[in-house]
Copies of this chain bind each other. A is one copy, B any other.
Amino acid sequence: MARPPASPSARKAGPVTLGMVAEASGVSPSTVSRILNGTAVVSAEKKAAVDRAIAELGFVPNPIARGLAGGRTMSIGVITQFIDSPFFGVAMRGIEETLSEAHYSALFVSGHWDVEVEQRCIDTLMGRRVDGMIILNGRVGDAALRQLAKQVPTVVTGRSIKAPNVYAMDYDHREGARLATQHLIARGHRDIAHIGGDQSHSDARERLAGYQTALEAAGIPFRPALVECGNYLEEGGRQAAERLLASPQRFTALFAANDQMAMGAAVALHKAGLRVPQDVSLVGFDDLALAMHMTPPLTTVHQASLELGRLTAQALLEMLAGGKPTLKLPEPRLVERDSVAAVARSIGR
């Protein structure tokens, strides 16, 4: 009877090597390698013998050696901006899940929204011979990206770029923002303020554009004084809301370009004695896990972050397999919760 395979971490001395498997099953190392990789057809009996030896010895191929031998390292570099981002964190989970199912490991690094840091991350990752790269809303230029893609297949989000060996996936931020604003308009709001993101990011510009589009479609003039920008963080949202509150502008609704800023804005509103949604309606963007647990639960535009992670990983996997991915992100959709109220129609007052 075959002894149950020993857990690798329970092994005593040096790890079981491919060579040991070869010896134990009476074939050459090359044959074992072939079986492992499906590189060539091997006679059934030898394969059986090897498989048994692998199981008995509890052999696990060494990715390091594999990588050195010019083969693949079975690892994928993933660049995010901050590893503790509530939005990208979920995407990373999706990436990790999908990748590990395919026996790949993800190497997560943070670019800190800084081109140079990000470039260094890329260099580090390439030094570790990753087989592919996923860049979540990176800041490096398209040129650097093309350069990178010459070495490994690359999937990027947050930008549209057409280049060999690069697959770009992005949300329709504009449409999402339009939806949010339109929802407010449909509830009777006309004085709608917007807290935008850092306008050097295309997604922030798109969201602003979507806001404008909805306004225009409803025949409401766009008033620049009603938009203040933050940095996509709670604090920035709070400050932007405070500026709005301090200005002479009046508004009955607020559309924040992401949930974190919406959260910050909610605090500012609260401190100013304004209630959500009775005094001002609030809509966010992203649908972070916490959106539904805010008080009141936040109406927001759903971005499938887990899906985003899964799909980017899946796309990369397809490229690694020599295919051409055609995956697309789901359409944005509004999630209605309790932070929006209708404005009372003030007919002929």
- Nearest chain B CB to A195's CB is how many angstroms away? 14
Chain B residues with CB below 8 A from A67, complex form: 64
Cβ–Cβ contact A293 & B270, under 8 A? no
Q: A8-B123, A108-B108 are in contact. Are A90 and B96 (CB under 8 A)?
A: no
Q: Contacts A65-B68, A93-B83; is A295 near B293 (CB within 8 Å)?
A: no
Contact assessment for A63 and B295 in the assembled complex, using a CB-CB cutoff below 8 Å = no
How far, in whole Å, are A122 and B75 apart by their CA atoms in the complex? 16
Q: A9-B148, A128-B105, A295-B266 are in contact. Are A96 and B119 (CB under 8 A)?
A: no
Residues in B with CB closer than 8 Å to A235 are 293
Please provide the chain A residues from 165 to 215 with a CB less than 8 Å away from any CB of chain B in the complex: none
When all copies of this chain in the complex are counted, the total is 2
A83-B89, A119-B9 given; A128·B63 CB < 8 A: yes
Tell me which of A90, A127, A144, A266 has the highest count of chain B C-beta atoms within 10 A of its own C-beta: A127
B-chain residues with CB within 8 Å of residue A7 when the two chains form the complex: 119, 123
| Complex alpha-carbon distance, A248 and B126, angstroms | 62
Q: Which residue of B lies closest to A69 (CB)?
A: B68
A327 within 8 A of B: no
A161 within 8 A of B: no
Is A325's CB within 8 Å of the partner chain B?
A: no
Please tell me which one of the listed residues B109, B122, B263, B296 contacts residue A96 in the complex, with CB atoms under 8 A apart: B109
> Ordered nearest first, which 3 A-B pairs have the shortest CB separation?
A84-B89, A234-B293, A270-B295
